[in-house]
Chain A
Amino acid sequence: MVHLILKHLKKYAHLAVLAAVFMVLEVYVDLLQPRLMAQIVDDGILGLNNGGVSDLHIVTSVGLKMLLIVLCGGICGMMSGICTNLCSQNFGNDVRKSAFRKIMHFSFSQTDRFSVGSLITRTTGDVSQVQNMVSQMIRGCVRCAMFFVAGSIALLSLAADFGMVIMIALPVILLEIAFVLWKTNPLFKLLQSRLDRMNTVIQENVAGARVVKAFIQEDRENRRFAEANDDLVSTQFRVLILMSYMRPVMNIVLNLATVAVIYIGSLRVQDGAIAPGKVMAAVTYLSQILNGMMMLAMIFQTVTRGLTSSQRLKEILTTESPITDGSGSAASSGGSVTFRNVCFSYADHGADVLHDINLTVGAGETLAVIGETGCGKSSLVNLIPRFYDADSGTVEVDGTDVRDYPLSVLRDKISIVLQKSELFSTTIKENIRIGNPDATDEEIRRAAVTAQADDFITAQPQQYDTPVAESGMSLSGGQRQRIAISRALVKKAEILILDDSTSALDFRTEASLQKALREDFRYMTKIIIAQRISSVRNADRIAVLDNGTVVACDTHENLLQNCRLYQDIYASQLRKEDA
Chain B
Amino acid sequence: MAVQANPQQGFGRRGARFGAPVEKPQNAGAALRRLLSYFRAERRFVILMSLTVLISVTASVLAPSFQSSAIDKIVSAQYALLPKALALMLTMHLIHGLTNLLQGWISASLSQRIVSKVRKELFDKIVHLPIAYIDGHSHGDLISRMTNDAENVSNIISSSLSSLFSGVLTLIGTLFMMMYYNIPLGLLSCSTVILTVLFTTFFSRYMRRYYVKRQALLGQLNGTVEEMVTNYKTITAYNRQESVIDSFTETADQLTRTGIIAEIISNCMGPVMNMLSNVSFVIVSVFGAYFALKGYITVGVISAFIIYSKQFSRPINELAQLYGQIQTAIAGAERVFSVLDEKTECFEGAPVKEVSGVIEFRHVDFSYVPEKKIISDFSLKIESGKKIALVGSTGSGKTTVINLLMRFYDIDSGEILLDGQNIRDIALTDLRDSIGIVLQDTKLFSDSIRANLTYAKEGATQEDVEQAARFAHCDKVIAKLPDQYDTMLSQTSVSLSQGEQQLIAIGRAFLSYPRILILDEATSSVDTRTELQIQDAMNELMKDRTSLIIAHRLSTIQDADQIIVMDQGHIVESGTHRELLSRNGKYYDLYMTQFAGQEI
B275 touches A251 (CB 8 A): no
Q: How far is the CB of A260 from chain B (nearest CB, A)?
A: 9
- Tell me whether A202 and B143 are in contact (CB under 8 A): yes
Decide yes or no: A348 and B233 within 8 Å by CB, A104-B244, A249-B101 being known contacts: no
Which residue from A70, A435, A578 sits with its C-beta under 8 Å from B278? A70
Asked whether, in the complex, the Cβ of B234 is within 8 Å of the Cβ of A229, the reply is no
* A412 lies within 8 A of B239 (CB): yes
Interface string of A534-570 (1 = CB under 8 A from B): 1001100000000000000000000000000100110
A169 within 8 A of B: no
Interface digits, A205-226 against B, CB 8 Å rule (1 contact, 0 not)?
Answer: 1111111111111101110011
Q: Is the CB of B51 closer than 8 A to any CB of chain A?
A: no
Pair B289/A40 contact, Cβ less than 8 Å: yes
Chief secondary structure at chain B's binding surface = helix
| Interface check A6, CB cutoff 8 A | no
10 shortest interchain CB distances as A-B pairs: A77-B271, A244-B104, A81-B267, A74-B275, A373-B499, A63-B286, A255-B93, A248-B100, A252-B97, A208-B443
What does the 1/0 interface line of A23-37 toward B look like (CB < 8 Å)? Answer: 000100110010011
Chain B, residues 549-570, CB within 8 Å of chain A (1/0): the string is 0001101001100000000000
0/1 per residue, A281-302, Cβ < 8 Å to B?
0011000000000000000000
- With A204-B445, A229-B123 as known contacts, state yes or no: A411 contacts B236, CB within 8 Å: yes
What residues of B have a CB within 8 angstroms of the CB of A252 in the complex? 93-94, 97-98
B263 at the interface (CB under 8 A from A): yes
Is residue A263 within 8 Å, beta carbon to beta carbon, of the partner chain? yes
Q: Contact residue range for chain A?
A: 35 or more
Whether A340 sits at the interface, judged by CB under 8 Å, is: no
B527 touching A371, Cβ below 8 Å: yes
- Cα A29 to Cα B271 in complex, Å, equals 12
Question: Are A216 and B432 touching (Cβ within 8 A)?
Answer: yes
The residue of chain A having its C-beta at the shortest distance from the C-beta of B116 within the complex is: A233
Which of A67, A230, A372, A578 gathers the greatest number of chain B CB atoms within 10 Å?
A: A372
The yes or no answer to A306 lying at the interface (CB within 8 A) is no
Confirm or deny: A418 has a beta carbon within 8 angstroms of a beta carbon on chain B: yes
Contact A216 B244 (CB under 8 A): no
User: With A104-B235, A263-B86, A515-B599 as given contacts, are A506 and B393 in contact (CB-CB < 8 Å)?
Assistant: yes
CB neighbours of A226 from chain B (8 A): 120
Stretch with Cβ within 8 A of B (4 or more), from A186-194, A445-453, A470-478: A470-478
With A78-B272, A115-B494: A221-B14 Cβ-Cβ less than 8 Å? no
| CB contact under 8 A between A373 and B497, given known A66-B282, A408-B239, A434-B234 | yes
Interface size band for B: 35 or more
The answer to whether A97 and B252 have CB atoms under 8 Å apart is yes
Given contacts A96-B252, A105-B241, contact A206 B126 (CB under 8 A): yes
B519 at the interface (CB under 8 A from A): no
- Contact flags B572-600 to A (C-beta < 8 A → 1, else 0): 00000110000000000110011101111
Per-residue interface assignment for chain B, residues 415 to 442, with 1 indicating a CB less than 8 Å from any chain A CB and 0 otherwise = 0000000000000110011011101000
Residues of B within 8 A of A40 (CB): 285-286, 289
Most buried by A among B116, B244, B458, B527: B527
Most buried by A among B93, B236, B490, B597: B236
Chain B residues with Cβ below 8 Å from A262 are 67, 70-71, 74, 82, 86, 89
Least CB distance from A98 to B in Å reads 10
Contact A59 B278 (CB under 8 A): no
Query: A266-B73, A506-B394 are contacts. A574–B263 as well, Cβ < 8 Å?
Result: no
Cβ contacts under 8 Å, B10 to chain A: 424-426, 430, 467
Question: Is residue A103 contacting chain B, with contact meaning CB distance below 8 A?
Answer: yes
Contacts of B278 in A (CB 8 A): 29-30, 33, 66, 70, 73-74
0/1 string, A363-376, CB within 8 A of B gives 1: 00000001111110
Question: With a CB–CB cut-off of 8 A, which chain A residues contact B595?
Answer: 534, 573-574, 578
Provide the bound-state CA to CA distance between A138 and B136, in Å. Answer: 49
